[in-house]
Structure 1
Amino acid sequence: MEDTTQYFDKYEENLQREILKMCSSLGMLDGELLASEDIDFKWKEWAPEYIAVALPEVNNYPDFAIACAGYAGMAAAHWWDEDWGRHHSAEFDSLLGPRGFDDMDEHIVQKILGLTLDSVEAKQIMNILLCCAQKASTFIRHEQIEHQTVKAFHIFARTVKVMFRTGAALELKRLGYKFQKVDLNRQLPS
């Protein structure tokens, strides 16, 4: 089991590194994965429900099934910035659109992020998440995993976790967050 866990950990690290590199090269991130423990915890809460609705879509719409985790991450980050006290208990169902999972992306962009679908920002978000999902799909194919196996399930779960964290980082960056070096040895004014 230890070897299996290490395999999945390495897969997740490599995928996250490559997606971060791609997002940074496109100017969407700055080489750092912005994150918050609150947001990461939200994924742990939402992941079982997300996987339950996304997994059946993988065969017909693999990129969409993967990309929507990025939208979920953006929603969590947006709510974290807006008013986490009010939104921290948001249920997974609040991410779904009128057609359920089928229009989750549009629902999040319009109703949670507050963007019109034809806006430059919305198109940029949709393009970067599609690129990330396509990169993730390529990563999965390179693993040459037999479909509908336990290993395939775990790879999918790790992949959508990476997408969630990437979506959260993209939204935090869009909202103006950044890592800033702090000099802990600096003397404070008296």
Structure 2
Amino acid sequence: MENFEEQLRKDLHQFLLSMKEVDNRMPECPDVEEKWEEIAKAYIPDGIREFQDFPSASLGWMMYIGMAVAKFWDAEWDIYSKIEDLYAYMRDKRGYDAMDEYIREEVLQLQCVDFTVLEKVVGECASRLYNALMHQRFEPGTKEAFNGFVACLHQLYLFGAAMQLKRMGYHMTKMN
């Protein structure tokens, strides 16, 4: 599974680099990374339920969540880090189906072209990972299929955070 997740990471990194959405060097933001496990545990029941009929949404929403957590980290982490279930906090604003719009409008405060461009980028990333997952030919309902799904979510979360950090002006460059 580590090889699969590494393939996902490399593919997303190259794609997002080509779109100038991330830097060559990935950001290090331990506060955001530490929230992953808690958010994943809360998200997975909803994500799995939606995956059958809406795989791109099920995957893509996690990228938006990564972006939102990075934004929260930059804005008022002392408040947001104490919210017991950050995923439920976001989901319950408008419901699961409209969580993407809530994050783009209210958290990231995007409008017009930026709103639509981000939707397309996230949609493409989710589609790429969905295709990679399907090419693994995991038998549905198995531990391998579940672990593959989680690997996709993990990379989407991390790259969502990386995209948002770059959008907020955090650039990862090698120090001399």
Q: TM-score, normalised by structure 1?
A: 0.87
Please state whether the residue corresponding to 1:51 is helix, strand or coil: helix
Q: Report if the CA contact (8 A) 1:97-1:106 is conserved.
A: no
* Cα shift readout 1:109-136 (whole Å, capped 9, x = no counterpart): 11111223xx222212111111100100
Q: For 1:135, which of 97, 119, 128 is the aligned residue?
A: 128
Higher relative contact order (CA 8 A, sep 6+): 2
Q: Secondary structure at the match of 2:35?
A: helix
Partner of 2:27: 34
Residues 54, 101 of structure 1: 8 Å contact kept: no
Give the equivalent residue in structure 2 for 1:159.
Answer: 152
Partner of 2:74: 81
Give me the whole-angstrom Cα distance separating, in 2, the residues matched to 1:169 and 1:121.
Answer: 17
Specify which of 101, 104, 107 is matched with residue 109 of structure 1: 104
Q: 2:140 & 2:97 partners in 1: Cα distance? A: 22
Deviations 1:5-60 (A, max 9, x none): xxx11111110110010011112112232231110111111111111111011110
Q: In the aligned structure 2, how far is the partner of 1:111 from the partner of 1:129?
A: 17
Match of 2:17 among 7, 17, 24: 24
Q: Is the 8 A contact 2:26 2:172 kept in 1?
A: no
Q: Which residue pairs with 1:61 in the alignment?
A: 54
Report sequence identity in percent.
28
What stretches of structure 1 of length at least 5 have no aligned partner?
1-7, 184-190
Cα distance per residue 1:57-109 (max 9 Å; x no partner):
11100011000000000000001111211111232211115552111101111
Q: Which has the higher helix share?
A: 2
> Which moved further from structure 2: 104-113 or 69-78?
104-113
What code does the residue aligned with 1:32 have? R
CA distance in 1, matches of 2:118, 2:126: 12
Alignment correspondent of 2:166 = 173
Cα distance in 1 for residues equivalent to 2:56 and 2:47: 10
Alignment of 1:38-53 (within 5 A): 38-53=31-46
**Equivalent AA in structure 2 for residue 179 of structure 1:** M
Segments of structure 2 that go 5 or more residues without pairing to the other structure are: none
Provide the C-alpha distance between the structure 1 equivalents of 2:58 and 2:170, rounded to a whole number of angstroms.
Answer: 27
RMSD between aligned residues: 1.2
How many residues of Structure 1 are paired with residues of Structure 2 in the alignment?
Answer: 174
Distance in 1 separating the partners of 2:107 and 2:55? 24
Greater C-alpha Rg: 1
